[in-house]
Amino acid sequence: MAAVQVSESDQIKQFKEFLGTYNKVTENCFMDCVKDFTSRDVKPEESSCSESCLQKYLKMTQRISMRFQEYHIQQNEALAAKAGLLGVPH
């Protein structure tokens, strides 16, 4: 029962994060790519810029996430080493 509850709230958290990213990337790419307000139509260069912007943003967040996880793994290993858990002969 407890396991099901955890995964539901995790799912909701994930979805919330996704929605947040969605809004952030929209605002970001709009600011950087949309410059022409002489008409309501999104110009083709604005559209391709936004698409590249989105893809780049996602790749960037993936890379940052990777490095962040690596950092924490390193930290945990350092702590474990200090606590004498690593290098115990077995």
CA atoms within 13 A on the CB side of 3: 0
The residue within the footprint of other proteins, chosen from 14, 26, 61, 76 (CB under 8 A), is 61
Residue 49 CB, shortest distance to other proteins, in Å, is: 5
| Short-list 27, 24, 31, 88, CA closest to 61 | 24
Ranges assigned E (strand) in the chain: none
**Backbone torsions φ then ψ of 57, nearest 5 degrees:** -60, -45
52 is a site residue for other proteins (CB under 8 A): yes
Specify the stretch interacting with other proteins by CB under 8 A; choose among 1-9, 36-44, 62-70, 81-89. 62-70
**Taking contact as CB under 8 A, which single stretch among the options 1-9, 36-44, 45-53, 80-88 is the one that binds other proteins?**
45-53
# residues near other proteins by CB under 8 A: 21
